[in-house]
Homo-oligomer: A and B are copies of this chain.
Amino acid sequence: MALNKKPVTGMKDILPEEMKIREYVMGVIKDTYGKFGFTSIETPCVENLANLNCKAGGDNEKLIFKILKRGEKLNLETAQTEEDLVDGGLRYDLTVPLVRYYSNHVSELPSPFKALQMGNVWRADRPQRGRYRQFMQCDIDILGEPTNLAEIELILATTTTLGKLGFKNFQIRINDRRILKAMAAYSGFAEESYDDVFITLDKMDKIGLDGVEKELIESGYAQETVSKYIALFQGLENNSNPTAYLADKLADFLEEGVQTSFDEIMDSVKATKGDYFELIFDPTLVRGMSYYTGTIFEIAMPEFGGSCGGGGRYDKMVGKFTGNDVPACGFSIGFERIILLLMESGFKIPSEPVKTAFLVEKGVTGEVLCEVIKEAQETRHDGFQVLVARMNKNKKFQKEQLQQQGYTEFKEFYKEPLK
């Protein structure tokens, strides 16, 4: 019986053409982030299930590919639940593994520690067009930096990288979980309903302010509270100094220094950013993950409906591993979306080596073949790409095929010198 040629459900093979773009993008990312002092690290793709289920993964915790126990540890007869059968899972993001890694190696790492991770993650999502169950994530994180230098460097590193990849006219939308919470508190929402309120707020770009108001009322929140909340957002519309307006309104609810620090991030990035992207304070930006404790940000691309990446500050996650909190802030690029956008735009890699094909007649053997191989090696040594291939009967077709692969130079070798 023939074996199955298809990849497993929801995962994909990467063809050479896409792979070239992926490797180019990875190269630009490593190079650019490197210039900012980020150093690459790697964690195993398999993590302890207890760590993956630590409530930092949100809904992703429902999508874990779990790994069967092996040998004596696996006992089908006594197994009562799924948990008895498994002892690990494929990571669904790079944040939980990073925090474990940092906790494990803190004494060997510089402080602050600037980490770059590019690696696959797995989520057993319902397969759909353009979304796969294995995909690459690309995260930068700064651990141990309490000041807004972390946010500034993360935003500049990310936007510089996107700029080098040719992206223009995108937006970085930025908010702060503390501002979000203060707005809810000021309006009179109870703390336990914040997450629910934010889920509704998150729909602003789809349903508008009226829609948000309607949904909050329907959810059973008091008219007075909802009105106060909506009025805050109305007050922000066309406001020339929105953070000052909020700081004034929320004085009793917002920690001191939040606005100043937030403004400083905005000002520093704006002072250096060039004109290829906008930085925008977006008080409706929520970001799903509950682990964020401060600034949050997101990349919005005009070519692409949704978010192309995002991140924020999560100062309370290292403590889950070590008992001691460490300030932490990260920014993740939506690698697969970036690749998709580049592929769709017909992106060409700026500089590729000259590609030469040596076509060698079937009869060329022995010493003559040695000479061909020798010349190929020398040409490669000079920096060229050289393919040595046997000449097909239909040489013209063979050359056309090679031209499609980017070969521009051809050299032919025959057993007998051509007459």
Contacts and interface: CB of A to CB of B under 8 A. Distances in A.
Contact of A149 (B5, B112, B388, B405): B388
Contacts of A353: 34-35
A387 B46 contact: no
Given A3-B320, A267-B370, 14 more contacts: A3-B54, A5-B100, A8-B46, A13-B43, A13-B105, A14-B42, A19-B41, A35-B380, A37-B357, A67-B90, A145-B389, A156-B373, A268-B369, A269-B373
Q: Which of A6, A12, A86, A370 has the most CB of B within 10 A?
A: A370
Per DSSP, chain A at the interface is: mixed
Nearest to A74: B82
A44 interface: yes
Contacts of A11: 44, 46
Nearest to A16: B39
Interface of A: 2-8, 11-16, 19-20, 22-23, 30, 34-37, 39-48, 50-51, 54, 65-68, 70, 74, 76, 79, 81-82, 85-88, 90, 100-101, 103-105, 108-110, 112, 114, 120, 122, 124, 134, 145, 147, 149, 152-153, 156, 160, 260, 264, 267-269, 271-272, 320-323, 353, 355, 357, 360, 362, 365-367, 369-371, 373-374, 377, 380, 383-390, 401-402, 405
27 contacts: A4-B48, A4-B51, A5-B321, A5-B322, A6-B48, A13-B44, A13-B104, A14-B41, A34-B385, A35-B383, A35-B386, A37-B357, A37-B387, A65-B88, A67-B90, A68-B86, A74-B82, A114-B387, A145-B390, A149-B389, A152-B373, A264-B365, A267-B370, A268-B369, A269-B373, A272-B373, A272-B377
